[in-house]
Amino acid sequence: MRLRAQRLERLAQACWRFTPKIALAPPDGFFLDVSGSIGLFGGEEKLLEELLAELRLSGEPVRVCLADTPAAAWAGARAARSEGVPPSKTDTRAASRVEACTGFGQLPVIPPGAGLAAMSTWPVEALRLDAETCATLRELGLDSIGALDRLPPESLQARFGAETALRLKQAAGRAPEPLDYLPPPRDFRARLEFDSPVVLQQPLQAAIGELTVRLGDQLAAAGLGSRRFELRLHRSDGKRIRHGLRTARLIQPAPQLAELLDEKMQANGPAPDRGVGVDAVSLVAYDTEPVSAEQADWLSGASSGILKGDLARLVDRLCSRLGAEAVRTPVPQASYLPERRWRLVSALDCPPPESFVEEQGNSPRAPLLLLEQAEPVDAAATTAGGPPAWVRWRSSAYPLRRAQGPRRVAPEWWLSGEQPGREYWLMEDERGRRFHLYRELEGGAEPCRWYVQALAA
């Protein structure tokens, strides 16, 4: 019986934690490119054991083989002992034939470079050839792959077609086999089951710590990060408690996530009810996104990291409630106009303050607070080009007593078409209120327009 496409895909999707590179090989197989993740699992054997454990959960009959080429793995998997449901009746003909001559030890692994050697005694069906070609080959007495390999390559292609030659080359690793990988999943999960229900907080915290590490490894292997996590506590009374968590920046779970989750659980009250234990915990990362190199540095702590400890936690908390852009910090810009010289960017995206190079020539009287937008005001200059004697701002009039200026500021020349130059005055009224006023220099047009840009020097 063949796995229906849907069941095959579901089975493949269960393997995301082993690799982000999964390719379906219908009708009954799929490839996992685990070359990047063997290290994460502590070796080939460990990975295979975990993979088999994962696949057994599905209840499907499965066979697995690890090899350095897809072709060898395909053949090896069919040669391997079946896991799960007894295979005898359910397997394809080709598979059962191959099975007759397995030579695997405890685990189905074909050592690197030994693909063709391992396959030499296997029947030609193991090369993924169509039934017709196989029948022809058998009629000619070419039963095994080894026999086929001993033929001169040119005659192989001429007599049995390009497909046969290509498959043989791929099995030997002499020709590449491009795979059509599934789009990476958006959600990742990790799960831990306890031998007996856990009631105490401490082992639960330890388990959550372990989960964040596991999930972090999965995401790191896939080069992904996430902003949305969910912790699920599967209680022995069948209830499932969920704790959702959003973070301000893309993260790969690590101790800091465990900390945030811990906080979250405490905020939501004691997690396991008294007496009702927790059977399993799982951690899900939703909507994963690729992590840029810069972010990866930050995640691994390689860069100095702009926010640390308490402060990072504060910013994360503020951002999770008010939005990622809620906490901002000024960064310098190349502009002469005061409102453009500094721009507010999210505190999460800017480089650390140490990298800030002091701007030269800041006036000691530069305004401390800048209005978001300069407000037009009524003002009257005493003399042409002089400071105004009073200013009317937000429906109050302020007679001005002291003046410093004028300071001319030209907008960037490439913008000069859009904006006229300005003449700044620092003005103080009789009570000491200060205004940073400017006048637009528009080709001597009268009356000129006045704006207030900052209050309180």
Partner 1 sequence: MEYAENLASGGVPPSKSPRRGRGRDWPLAVLERPGVHEFLGERGADRAAALSLLLCAAAGLPGAAERRLLWVQSLAASRRWGLPCGEGLDAIGLNPRSVLIVEPETERELLWVLEQALDCSGLLAVVGCLPGVERHYGFTASRRLSLRALRKGSRLFLARGARIREATSAQTRWQVEPAPSAPMELAWRGFELPGARSWRLNLLRAPGWTPASWNIEWSEHENRLRMAASSAEPSAVRAAG
Which residues sit at the interface with partner 1, rule CB under 8 A?
Answer: 308-311, 313-315, 317-318, 321-322, 326-332, 338, 341-342, 344, 347, 350, 352-353, 356, 358-359, 362-372, 382-383, 386-387, 393-394, 396, 398, 400-404, 426-428, 430-435, 454-457
Closest contact distance (angstroms) between CB of 326 and partner 1 is 6
Residue with smaller CB distance to partner 1, 290 or 352: 352
Closest contact distance (angstroms) between CB of 442 and partner 1 is 22
How many whole angstroms separate alpha carbon 165 and alpha carbon 155?
9
Closest contact distance (angstroms) between CB of 456 and partner 1 is 4
Per DSSP bridges, beta strands 369-381 and 450-455 are: antiparallel
Cβ atoms 244, 228 nearer than 8 A: yes
How many whole angstroms separate alpha carbon 253 and alpha carbon 284?
10
Residue with smaller CB distance to partner 1, 311 or 415: 311
- Which class for 83: exposed (0-12), middle (13-18), buried (19 or more C-beta within 10 A)? middle
Half-sphere exposure of 289 (CA within 13 A, CB side): 11
Closest contact distance (angstroms) between CB of 439 and partner 1 is 14
CB under 8 A, 24+ apart: contacts of 308-314: 312/256, 313/259, 313/260
Closest contact distance (angstroms) between CB of 295 and partner 1 is 20
Residue with smaller CB distance to partner 1, 106 or 355: 355
Residue with smaller CB distance to partner 1, 117 or 455: 455
Phi, psi of 235, rounded to the nearest 5 degrees: -85, 160
Residue 123, beta-bridge partner list = 144
Closest contact distance (angstroms) between CB of 257 and partner 1 is 19
Residue with smaller CB distance to partner 1, 1 or 368: 368
Give ∠ CA 12-16-19 in degrees, rounded to 5.
Answer: 110
Residue with smaller CB distance to partner 1, 38 or 379: 379
